[in-house]
Amino acid sequence: MTEGSIRRRIIGFAVPVFVGYLFQQLYNTADSLIVGNYLGENALAAVSANGAFIFLFIGFFMGFSTGAGVVIARHIGAGDGAQTRLAVHTAVAMGLAFSALASVLGVAISPAVLRWMGTPEEVFGESCKYLRVYFAGAAGPVMYNMFVGILQASGDSRHPLLYLVISSLVNVALDMLFVGALGMGVEGAALATVISQLLSMALAGARLMRLNGDIRVSPRQVRFDRANLKAIVQNGLPTALQASVIDLSNVLIQSYINSFGNLAMAGIGASTKLEGFAFLPITAFSMAITTFVSQNMGARRYDRVRQGIRFGVGCAVATIEALGVALFLLAPALIGLFNRNPQVVAFGMGRARVCALFYCLVGFSHVASAVMRGLGKPMTPMLIMLTCWCAVRIAVLFTLGQLLHDIRLAYWIYPFTWTLSSAVYAVLLRRMHMDRLAGATV
């Protein structure tokens, strides 16, 4: 990342990440497609309603993989092999601890959280079954993301792509077997997801243990190094909290959606699945930008940092807006793939038609956040997202939401808060002196 064409380095890193997450999104969507068509609206609602809580819970732990990637990339950029090895094994030790914690807590608190979210009785049982099976295998997504954070910090985004392709195909096959052929219900969909995630974790871990370089993982050396643990926490905790507070607001919005019944849950859940595809380029560019900026900051190549930021932001925003326009136009047909009930389609189309044309704003916010993390300033995006995407959303729900019971509030709250965060990021990035990045404060 510190040498050669900036555009080729960023795109060459981002494209495999994008394709990999495309396959991951495909198998997540396959759960909903198969459940919605084989098991009906209630089962689709049960699976859809769990997404916000899963992202809230697992996303917190996975946020530390971003922090680990930043620290490891800095060591690699500085050419410090000893610290790279210590950081890698500290990251793995942290991932193992988080995996155990996520499984125990997730299984234990799932029923209480579903009650708190106001999940309708007709889907409560199925939702609880899905969550408990999913969290029993929480080591899959937590450790996979930690392993991938290490690989991507070294500039390797191709092997994670391969592992996601394999696990995605396995997940779809198991969905068809467990749900379609064996009639296992939502537990079958959850089990298919768990098995495929554990497979991708095993493949990524095996790759790290076979390598000969500084990022090679040796089980005997997995332990915490105090200095690197502190650095990972300093970089990862704000990212984890940022993801969590955003997902917390989404849980509250999901609770509001639940009050409109299972058809609204199913339709809006289908819409968010489609939205996940549009957000994939942002995920890819965000990872590429964070790694690019981190390595070049470690190498003190501030000229490359400045040029990379400009290219990454522009390319990401243009790409996601084009996808937003496509979703706006194709929303009825795409949502109908999940379930043909006219009310389900109407709810899903309503949300898609409101949000899709504003995707450029969420794209800009995510990439700007990635820039801040790469610069070693993770507190800045955390505070922005905490304010704009959590506090404002909660304030709106507990004020206007109490006075106006209208599903359109759950649609418009997203573009409104995306606009706020984009405005703040635009001001901050404009104020930054890119020729003095080493000492810039935001």
Residues 66-88 have pLDDT tens digits of: 888 889 988 888 888 999 999 99
Of 223-227, 257-261, 351-355, least confident by mean pLDDT is 257-261
The pLDDT confidence band at residue 28, using thresholds 50, 70 and 90, is low
Distance in angstroms between the alpha carbons of the first and the last residue of the chain: 24
| 235 pLDDT above the threshold of 50 | yes
CB proximity list for 45: less than 8 A, separation 6 or greater: 120, 123, 262, 263, 265, 266, 269
- Token pair for 41: 């609206």
| 420 pLDDT above the threshold of 60 | yes
What is the pLDDT, as a whole number, of residue 267?
A: 87
The residue with greater pLDDT, 4 or 237, is 237
CB proximity list for 420: less than 8 A, separation 6 or greater: 388, 392
DSSP string, 80-128: -HHHHHHHHHHHHHHHHHHHHHHHHHHHHHHHHHHHHTT--HHHHHHHH
Domain span at residue 161 reads 6-439
pTM of the predicted model as reported, rounded to 2 decimal places = 0.69
The pLDDT confidence band at residue 442, using thresholds 50, 70 and 90, is very low
| 434 pLDDT above the threshold of 60 | no
Q: How far apart are CA 301 and CA 435, in angstroms?
A: 10
pLDDT tens profile 361-411: 999 998 998 888 888 787 888 888 888 888 898 889 888 888 888 899 989
| 197 pLDDT above the threshold of 50 | yes
Contact 298, 231 (CB under 8 A): no
- Domain membership of residue 418 (yes or no) is yes
Please give the C-alpha separations between residue 7 and each of 12, 285, 322, 360, 371, in angstroms, as whole numbers. 8, 11, 20, 20, 16
Of 84-88, 239-243, 286-290, 377-381, least confident by mean pLDDT is 239-243
What is the pLDDT, as a whole number, of residue 49?
A: 67
Q: How far apart are CA 25 and CA 385, in angstroms?
A: 24
What is the pLDDT, as a whole number, of residue 225?
A: 93
Helical axes 359-374 vs 280-298, angle rounded to 10°: 20
- Token pair for 15: 């494209």
In what helix (H) or strand (E) does residue 7 lie, and over which residues does it extend?
helix 6-38
The residue with greater pLDDT, 212 or 29, is 212
Q: Return the C-alpha torsion angle 425, 427, 430, 435, nearest 10.
A: -70
Domain total of the chain: 1
pLDDT tens profile 141-194: 899 989 988 998 888 878 887 888 888 889 888 988 998 888 888 888 889 989
What is the pLDDT, as a whole number, of residue 436?
A: 45
Q: How far apart are CA 145 and CA 137, in angstroms?
A: 14
- Domain membership of residue 1 (yes or no) is no
The pLDDT confidence band at residue 121, using thresholds 50, 70 and 90, is confident
- Rounded mean pLDDT of 402-430? 90
Please give the C-alpha separations between residue 425 and each of 245, 250, 304, 340, 364, in angstroms, as whole numbers. 18, 21, 21, 40, 8
Distance of CA 83 to the CA centre of its chain: 28
| 222 pLDDT above the threshold of 50 | yes
Q: How far apart are CA 63 and CA 142, in angstroms?
A: 9
- Domain membership of residue 429 (yes or no) is yes
Q: Mean pLDDT across the chain, nearest whole number?
A: 85
| 330 pLDDT above the threshold of 50 | yes
| 232 pLDDT above the threshold of 50 | yes
Region class of 59: left (phi > 0), else alpha (psi between -120 and 50), else beta: alpha
Angle, alpha carbons 107-111-116 (nearest 5°): 130
